[in-house]
Amino acid sequence: MERTTRPAGTRTKRRAARLRIRAATRRDAATICALIRGLADYEKLSHEVEASIARIRQHGFGPRRYFETLLCFDGPHAVGFALYFFTYSTFLARPTLYLEDLFVVPEVRGRGAGKALLAALARVAVRRGCGRMEWAVLDWNAPAIGFYERLGARLRKDWILTRLTGSPLRRLSRAR
């Protein structure tokens, strides 16, 4: 039996062609929650997760929507997600698409799911008149940092992420 060879890159292109991106719906809340837990496991932050299907439904698909989500599928299986919302750049006087979470399950990394999700987000940002997309990356996540830099993203080391949560947040809310 004669064996044929494929041109270089054909297999990767076929894998990427199987990927499908779509906007999440209320019915996807359990899938989103599972992917959030997968991200937390990867980032060694599972102990911080309070996400629940009910909260995802309420905050992502209720009357006041705080975020939107894109899901990436490889065949019938959800293999990644991008959860985002919009802020506003006073300097640009335009909206900013802020990517809160991007996650691709480890088994399919390197097959184009992350790039497909980011490309879909870029299309959303352009369509909605955004001046930029922003997100944070953990300083130890060298594979993600390299991936983002190859896409042309600039890492801003001159800004420090600042966060109030829990009792300090509640204490400040009571201040006059």
Residues recognised as catalytic: 148
Q: Which residues contact 26 (CB under 8 A, 6 or more apart)?
A: 57, 60, 61
The answer to whether residues 81 and 72 touch, using CB atoms and an 8 Å cutoff, is yes
Sheet with 132-135, edge to edge strand ranges:
19-23, 68-74, 77-89, 94-104, 132-135
Q: Token pair for residue 110?
A: 């390197």
Say how far apart CA 138 and CA 101 lie, in whole Å: 12
- Residue 22 is which amino acid? R
Assign 110 to helix, strand or coil: coil
* C-alpha separations of 103 from 7, 38, 145, 168 in Å: 30, 8, 13, 29
